[in-house]
Amino acid sequence: MVVTRTEKLPVQASEDVVRVRQAVRRWAVELGFNLVDQTKVVTAASELARNTLTYGGGGTVELENLVEGGRRGLRLTFADQGPGIPDVARALKDGFSTGTGLGLGLGGAKRLSNEFEIRSHPGAGTTVRITRWT
């Protein structure tokens, strides 16, 4: 698997969340995603960017174009140095039932992506990585 293009954007203010959506949309269009897949990855990015800002105290997102075999992918890595999530499993589950706050964002982003990874420890910040393949 090869990374053919990469860019890092700040997620420090609420305008940044909009910029991230627009950047992800541009990259998704260039990669040739269909409209529904574009919408899914942009929406997932919006959720995670907001989490990074609101719960992580601000951070960054790295966008990457992936090539593996013949397929292309868009990978997004959101990172912050915030308080971390104490119970990740619950945060992923809660989102589905309660539909409020942090949970829906994480669980939602996971459902909207092909691949989802999260590393988070209290006091050590949070990193969430999602990938969408064509």
Question: What residues make contact with another protein under the rule CB under 8 A?
Answer: 2, 4, 14-15, 17-18, 21-22, 25, 35-36, 38-40, 42-43, 46-47, 50, 67, 69-71, 95-96, 99-100, 104-105, 107-108, 111-112
* Other C-beta atoms lying within 10 Å of the C-beta of residue 89: 8
Closest distance of CB 43 from another protein, Å: 5
Q: Which is nearer to another protein, 96 or 124 (CB)?
A: 96
Contacts 24+ apart (CB under 8 A), 87-90: 88/118, 88/120
CB 133, min distance to another protein, A: 11
Tokens of 129: 């990585």
Q: Is the distance from CB of 61 to CB of 47 less than 8 angstroms?
A: no
What's the min distance (Å) between Cβ of 2 and another protein?
5
Cα–Cα separations (whole angstroms), residue 113 to 14, 41, 81, 89: 23, 7, 23, 17
Nearer to another protein, 15 or 123 (CB): 15
